[in-house]
Amino acid sequence: MDMSRIVATSDVVFKYLFGAKSSTELLRQFVNAVQRHAGMEEFSSLEIINPIGEREYAAAKTTIIDVKAEAPDGTVINVEVQVRSQADFGERSLYYWAKSYSEQIVEGEFYVALRPVVSVSILNFDLFPGELPYHSTFQLLERNHPAFCLTDDCTMHYLELRKLPDQETSELGEWLYALKHLDEQEGPMIVLLKRNHSIQELANRYRRFERNSEARMLYEARMKEQRDQASFLNQAQREGLEKGLEEGVEKGLKEGREMGIAQGREEGREEGREEGREEGREEGREEGARQIAARLQALGLPTEKITEATGLTVDQVNGLKNKS
Number of separate helices (H) and strands (E) present in the chain: 10, 6
Query: Which pLDDT score is estimated for 125?
Result: 93
CB 230 within 8 A of CB 222: no
CA separation for the pair 122, 67 (Å, rounded): 12
pLDDT digits (tens, 9 = 90+) for 116-147: 999 999 999 999 988 999 999 999 999 999 99
pLDDT category of residue 14 using cuts at 50, 70 and 90 = very high
Using a pLDDT cut of 70, give the percent of the chain over it: 78
Question: By mean pLDDT, which of 117-131, 179-193, 303-317 is the weakest?
Answer: 303-317
Helix (H) or strand (E) run with residue 76 in it: strand 76-82
Q: Using alpha carbons, list the distances in angstroms from residue 153 to 38, 48, 114, 256.
A: 16, 19, 8, 58
Query: Which pLDDT score is estimated for 224?
Result: 80
